[in-house]
Amino acid sequence: MASINPYLTFNGNCEAAFTFYKSVFGGEFPYIGKFKDMPPAEGSAPLSAEDGEKIMHVSLPISKETILMGSDTAEAFGPAVTEGNNFAISINTDSTEEADRLFNGLSAGGKVTMPMNKTFWGAYFGMFTDQFGINWMVNFDENPQM
């Protein structure tokens, strides 16, 4: 069965925000990675030193069922976020088949921004905006670590 988690996007202050959330909720970050940790994308310009220090992904479990996740935006990956488009719903599935079914169903009539594919961090992952303007991320981890 799929689980749904909030995914927050920031304009450079993700680490500060998540340090604050951690002070309130407690717990530890199972994963915190910066854009400089990513392998370079084929044909893309190198990241600036400033963008390299921004948070690519962070996760903070806040209950047995819920993980608060987030990242910064980087100029190389699109425009900055504004209030109202600075969140997504992240769905974690139990299989690639379930990930494909949910991705294909929910993205119908919407705009796919990243098709489902294997990633450098070991997940099967994709992103889209549905026909109602809601941002979604679909993820399947064979060996969960984030």
CATH number at residue 9: 3.10.180.10
What's the total number of domains in the chain? 1
**pLDDT digits 0-9 by tens, 27-77:** 999 999 999 988 877 777 778 889 899 999 999 998 888 999 999 987 777
pTM for this prediction: 0.75
Q: Report residue 13 as tokens.
A: 């202050």
Helix (H, G, I), strand (E, B) or coil at 136: strand
69 compared with 145, residue with greater pLDDT: 69
Q: Is residue 28 part of a domain?
A: yes
Query: Is the four-CA dihedral 60, 95, 1, 133 of positive or negative sign?
Result: positive
**pLDDT digits 0-9 by tens, 111-136:** 999 999 999 888 999 999 988 788 99
Q: Is residue 106 part of a domain?
A: yes
Structural domain boundaries, residue 126: 3-141
C-alpha distances in Å from residue 10, one per residue of 24, 99, 116, 138: 19, 26, 23, 20
Q: Is residue 56 part of a domain?
A: yes
pLDDT bracket for residue 146 (50, 70, 90): very low
